Structure formats: C-alpha cells, structure tokens
Amino acid sequence: MNLDFIVEKMELKCKCCWENLRREVSGGYVGDLLSDVIANSNSGDIWVTRQVHQNIVAVATLKEHAGIIIIQGAQPDKDTIEKAAKEGMPIMVSSLPAFEVVGKIYHLMHYT
C-alpha cells in the first residue's frame, strides 16, 4: 500500500515532502519514546507519534520509515519540518488520537 492512499483515506494534512508520498508502507508503529522506536520499529513502517521535536526526523530517517504521522492536533516544530524536508521524510498531521488513527490505518492495511 502506498503512503498517498493512507493520506487520502485518512484525510491527513501533509506538511512536507509531497514528492515522496508514492512510497510503499509495509507496516505501522506507534510510539512516543524514541529509544523504543529505534529498538522496535521496522523500515517501511508508518510511524504514529505525539512527539513534535526535530529528533523524530532523525529517528525516522535512521529506521527508514515511510513517513511520520503526528497525532492529536499537535503541530511539528518549525525545525522539525525543515529537517524533514531536507531528509525527504514526509510528515503528516491528524486531529485524531493515536487509537483512532491506528485503528483506521490497520483496517486499511488488512481489509483493502
């Protein structure tokens, strides 16, 4: 499944790197503790988090995530968007809480 399919179905707002939305998403990971995300997420994951700090871009790049979804109406810091644009890491935002975002993406992945 491509990232742009998720963005469209979930009505996510993309903050940067539209050119990379054709990326393949192979799984998902939710987490707010960076050390945990580094330890346990996989490449190709769409990462769902409430963190907005620029460190999330470093983590997502390191783990080769497909993109980052910031949840619950939180907005990424300015530094975060700049860094993401430089690294080509798409950042999307949603006003839904993690549980709903994940529930819907999981549904898209398993039943479409």
Partner 1 sequence: MKLAEIIDMLDAELIVGTPDQLQIDIKTAFGADLMSDVLCDARSGCLLITGLTTPQGVRIAYALDIAGIVFCRGKRPQPQSIEIARELGIPLLRTQYIMFETCGRLFGEGIIGCIREICAGDSFREI
Partner 2 sequence: MKSESEFVGNVSIVGHGFEYAGRVSNEIKKILLEQGIPEGIVRRVAVVIFEVEVNIISYAETGFIRYQVLPDSIIIEAKDKGQGIADIELAQQEGYSTADDKIREMGFGAGMGLANIKKFSDVFEINSEVGKGTYVKSIINIDKKRS
| Binding-site ranges for partner 2 (CB under 8 A) | 32-33, 35, 50-52, 74-75, 77
Choose among partner 2, partner 1, none what residue 90 binds, the Cβ cut-off being 5 to 8 Å by kind.
Answer: none
Choose among partner 1, partner 2, none what residue 28 binds, the Cβ cut-off being 5 to 8 Å by kind.
Answer: partner 1
- 49: part of which helix (H) or strand (E)? strand 45-49
CA distance 51 to 86: 19
Nearer to partner 1, 16 or 30 (CB): 30
Cα→Cα distances 33→10, 76, 80, 105, Å: 24, 16, 17, 21
Nearer to partner 1, 19 or 24 (CB): 24
Report residue 54 CA to chain centroid gap.
13
Q: Which residues make up the interface to partner 1 (CB under 8 A)?
A: 27-33, 36, 40, 48, 50-51, 72-73, 95-100, 102-107, 110
